[in-house]
Copies of this chain bind each other. A is one copy, B any other.
């Protein structure tokens, strides 16, 4: 078979947890979607929580990979910020469940937040150092790099994922809409970050 049952379960779980949410997705629903029995799922994973953790682990390493690929390119200044925004948007379009899962994990009640941040802490540190370096070199407006990173995170993830808000605001959620949002977001960030 092209894909093992275990992989299929993880795929379906990522989709479901990243869109509908963890709490509302029952094992039965997951199993039905896959055309198998709930007990088959519980053969591969000891509990529902364990599935979630496995999904988070896989999603986190996918995310980290995206960032590390871009970091390895060694681009500097605002061009690097723009490149990362583009990559996040590509991810949001191609695999919206991935960013949806991030939002699910970062909810107040979530248990797996530490699991996620264990993966992402290195790239957060790296991003902070990057911002600090670029500020020192005068290629970026000086400010607190940690707080700036938080603002950047919120803005990019929000614009990329808040589809319901956009719909409510009357903004198209088509692919063209996504491109327009990305373009506007990059203009917005460039304006905020350009050195004086």
* Residues of A participating in the B interface, judged by any CB pair closer than 8 Å: 19-21, 23-24, 100, 106-110, 113-114, 116-117, 120-121, 124, 141, 143-144, 146-151, 153-155, 157-159, 162-171, 180-181, 184-185, 187-189, 191-194
* A108 adjacent to B163 (CB under 8 Å): yes
* Closest CB in chain B relative to A98 CB, distance in Å: 13
Cα A185 to Cα B163 with chains together (Å): 23
Q: Is A148's CB under 8 angstroms from B184's CB? A: yes
Closest 7 CB pairs of A and B: A154-B158, A192-B192, A147-B184, A117-B168, A23-B23, A155-B155, A191-B192
Nearest CB in chain B: distance from A184 CB, A:
4
Hey, which chain B residues are within 8 Å of A116, CB to CB? 168
Closest partner residue, chain B, to A117 (CB atom)? B168
**Considering the chains assembled together, what is the distance between the CA atoms of A171 and B170 in angstroms?**
34
Chain B residue with minimal CB distance to A116?
Answer: B168
Contact B187 A143 (CB under 8 A): yes
- Asked if A21 and B107 make an inter-chain contact with CB atoms under 8 angstroms apart, the answer reads yes
Name which residue of chain B comes closest to A167, CB basis.
Answer: B113
Contacts of A144 in B (CB 8 A): 180, 184
| Chain B residues with CB under 8 A of A187 | 143
Expressed in whole angstroms, the Cα–Cα distance for A157 and B116 within the complex equals 22
Closest to A105 in B: B164
Q: Is the CB of B150 within 8 A of A169?
A: yes
Residues of B within 8 A of A188 (CB): 143, 148, 151, 192
CB pair B171–A147 under 8 Å, yes or no, is: yes
Least Cβ–Cβ distance between A113 and chain B, in angstroms: 5
Complex contact B20–A21 (CB within 8 A):
no
Pairwise interchain contact A169-B146, C-beta atoms closer than 8 A: yes
- The CA of A187 and the CA of B147, in the complex, are separated in Å by 11
